[in-house]
Structure 1
Amino acid sequence: MECVFGLVGDGFAILAADTSAVHSILVHKSNEDKIMVLDSHKLVAASGEPGDRVQFTEFIQKNVALYQFRNGIPLTTAAAANFTRGELASALRKNPYAVNILMAGYDKETGPSLYYIDYIATMHKVDKGAFGYGSYFSLSMMDRHYHSGMTVEEAIDLVDKCIIEIRSRLVVAPPNFVIKIVDKDGAREYAWRESVKDAHVASA
């Protein structure tokens, strides 16, 4: 029941993901961070088979760091997304990774951007995107409420709307979500949304 989604606003990009590590009918943990800080101004949110998700995102992170170490300049978000797509495409006919990725970044020249990369190495630059069962609801909410040039407050409000919709619609909904943001000041964690705390706030 994974849920990963993101959007681009005015000078920033936001990614949100559930934090549940689940196998069959068992919940192993509910604080799994599925959004990796790729470098100072890039984020990668991934969904898919847990082993592939962790191994592949770490592989991309280390190769992006290696490129910067060797060349003295970081990859742009577009270049990092194309590198990621290339690695998925190379693995596709050998030992494919069951992983879907949303990559968000901020570049001085082009501003914020969001890339949609799925497990068969399809890549698109998008304004909003989602993976997992939660995408059925988060995409429809974003289609309804998203507009270009959103402020951080508007974007967070939309993310919260998506989380509430996912929790109310999915039979087995993930209880907790992590939200991260990237802008000119860098990539960082913005907030957690925990169902226990939300219920306490709602009843207060």
Structure 2
Amino acid sequence: MALENVCNWQAPEALSPHLPGAGDWTIPRGYDPPVFLQTQGPELAHGTTTLAFRFRHGVIAAADTRSSCGSYVACPASQKVIPVHRHLLGTTSGTSADCVTWYRILKRELRLRALREGQLPTVAGAAKLLSTMLYRYRGLGLCVATALCGWDRAGPALFYVYSDGTLLAGDVFSVGSGSPYAYGVLDRGYHYDMTVEEAYTLARQAVAHATHRDAYSGGSVDLYHVKESGWERVSREDACMLYIRLQETGEQGEETTPTSP
């Protein structure tokens, strides 16, 4: 008699329908994960500001660097824009461990596909792959909200992926507790035909404004640019000093005209 029969062991795929093909994580039998998380799981507090937008010269990704744990600042200089490969970046919002874990899985799967097929998958293909893997873990308490920014054979591309499997294509996305403030700046200044310098200024302005208004965002402002030749890290600037400088220059470098008494 086989040992697995003596121990009444079952293969992982027979234990739960939530397991993705890219992993082998098992879920204990007898547990209803959503109910368990609601009654026993810790209450997680999330806070960040990330954004990305597509324009004529590529895709801009920007984020603050403050990682918060409830009302505490866990790390003032974290990395919220993660390189996936030379032409693909991802912003991270949600639970830090979940985001890092799933980006590691995504990197591995894209690398394996590139070795099998002889070329890297498109940005849409990478977004669809991540969405499919996350979808099979819906209801298990994952918190991953990301914007995939890349350049492939079709040009610049931008996709939003959430941990319930949501997949959206668009030109402008902002995710996190500071996103309402960032959207206010982006909606006012974004247009597809802007220059590179205008895009840099807009991204810096949006994140700096969000860090000023949102208590869970802060630290520095990371700025990345995905171009046809690959991604480039443009700058990391202190968010407070950047906000002050933008205020002093009228945020867009425009001179204020004096008003008559």
TM-score, shorter chain, exceeding 0.5: yes
- Counterpart of 2:145, as a letter, is N
User: Which runs of structure 2 are paired with 1:27-66 in the superposition (5 Å)?
Assistant: 27-66=73-112
- Counterpart of 2:195, as a letter, is T
1:114 to 152, 158, 176: 158
User: Using a 3 Å threshold, how does the CA distance of structure 1 residues 182 and 152 change in structure 2: closer, same or farther?
Assistant: same
State the TM-score, normalized to the length of structure 1. 0.91
Please tell me whether Structure 1 or Structure 2 has the larger radius of gyration of its CA atoms: 2
1:168, 1:73 → 2: CA distance? Answer: 43
The answer as to whether partners of 2:63 and 2:207 remain within 8 angstroms in 1 is no
Tell me the alpha carbon deviations over residues 96-126 of structure 1, each in whole angstroms, 9 at most, x when there is no partner: 5211010000013x11011011222111111
Three-state SS of the structure 1 residue aligned to 2:82 is strand
Compare 6-15 and 160-169 and name the one that shifted more.
160-169
Three-state SS of the structure 2 residue aligned to 1:130 is strand
- Report deviation, 1:136: 0.4
- Report deviation, 1:201: 6.1
1:77, 1:143 → 2: CA distance? Answer: 25
Task: Give identity over the alignment, percent.
Answer: 23
- Counterpart of 1:87, as a letter, is M
- Report deviation, 1:65: 1.2
1:90, 1:9 → 2: CA distance? Answer: 33
Q: Which runs of 5+ in 1 are unaligned?
A: none
Three-state SS of the structure 2 residue aligned to 1:91 is coil
The answer as to whether partners of 2:66 and 2:217 remain within 8 angstroms in 1 is no
Larger relative strand fraction: 1
Cross-structure match for 2:226: 182
1:148 paired to 2:182: no
Aligned length: 201
The answer as to whether partners of 2:48 and 2:216 remain within 8 angstroms in 1 is no
User: Which runs of structure 2 are paired with 1:87-106 in the superposition (5 Å)?
Assistant: 87-93=133-139, 95-106=140-151
Q: Which runs of 5+ in 2 are unaligned?
A: 1-46, 249-261
Compare 165-174 and 183-192 and name the one that shifted more.
165-174
Three-state SS of the structure 1 residue aligned to 2:137 is helix
- Report deviation, 1:164: 2.8
- Report deviation, 1:35: 1.0
Cross-structure match for 1:128: 172
Q: Which has the higher contact order (CA 8 A, sep 6+)?
A: 1
Compare 187-196 and 31-40 and name the one that shifted more.
187-196
Cross-structure match for 2:17: none
Give runs of ≥4 in structure 1 deviating > 3 Å: 195-203
1:85 paired to 2:131: yes
1:132, 1:199 → 2: CA distance? Answer: 19
The answer as to whether partners of 1:45 and 1:103 remain within 8 angstroms in 2 is yes
1:54, 1:161 → 2: CA distance? Answer: 27
- Report deviation, 1:163: 2.2
